[in-house]
Structures are given as structure tokens and as C-alpha cells.
Copies of this chain bind each other. A is one copy, B any other.
Amino acid sequence: MSDGFILDARLAGDTLVVGDLPLTRVLLMRDARYPWLVLVPRKAGRIEVSDLDADDQARLWQEVSLAGAALRAVAPCEKLNIGALGNIVRQLHVHVVARNAGDAAWPGPVWGLGQAEAYPPGEAERWIDALSEALGL
């Protein structure tokens, strides 16, 4: 069981749940501009990666790698972007984003740029199904 973990309200509002890996909750950003996962360790009170113990830090980055591979499997891309920022939402979370030349932010970062674009009906669910399978969930 998690130790009092509650997903941050802003993260919850901006995303859909893909599923749980051993350490992290995997979320799909509600933004059709980019295939974009967010991984949140299910541990309360963590802000920096260094707030996790060494085993969990290693597990976090393994799950980030797994998420990157899953994204690539369902959304071929030119470059993966990995980011742990947390300037606005302090709950520890790591972004894994599939980037392609010509996407809405290319070659800049995705964070804070413009407005999220809604997925057409059913499309986010199709992404979630495909990503769940690629993640072995």
C-alpha cells in the first residue's frame, strides 16, 4: 500500500490514469499536441528525486526508461524529452514526452507553452490501451 499518497489535484485534473508500475502512477497528459506521460512515485511528501531512498531513485529512473520505451513503441518519435521540474506542482513527478520536429513546441521545451489541446473523443482511451499494453500493465 502507499504511505498516504494522494495524487496532486492539478496533476489529477491535467491527466488520465494509465496505470501503476511498482513505484509510480503513470498518467497521460490531456494534451493531444504531444504523446506525454507523467510518472508520479506513490510516496507521500516527496518533492525532489533525492527525497526518495536510493532504491526508489533507481526504480524511478527504470520506470522512466520503461515509459520512454512504451511511448516510442506506440508513438515513433524523433526524441524523447525527460524532465523533473516541479516549479509549479511540487509533488515529485517526471515527464516523459515524445517529440517530433514540427510539433507545437519544437525544438523548445513543452512546459508552459500555449494551451493543451483536447483529444478527440475516444483517442485518449486508445492511447491508454496501447500504452498499458506496452508497459505490461
Contacts and interface: CB of A to CB of B under 8 A. Distances in A.
Size category of the binding interface on chain A: 20 to 34
A106 B85 CA distance: 11
A42 interface: no
Given A58-B58, A68-B50, A108 B81 contact: no
Interface string A81-116: 111111110100000000100000011110110000
A79 B92 CA distance: 11
Nearest to A85: B81
B81 A84 contact: yes
Interface of A: 47-50, 57-58, 61, 64-65, 68-69, 78-88, 90, 99, 106-109, 111-112
A65 B57 contact: yes
Given A111-B109, A112-B109, A79 B86 contact: yes
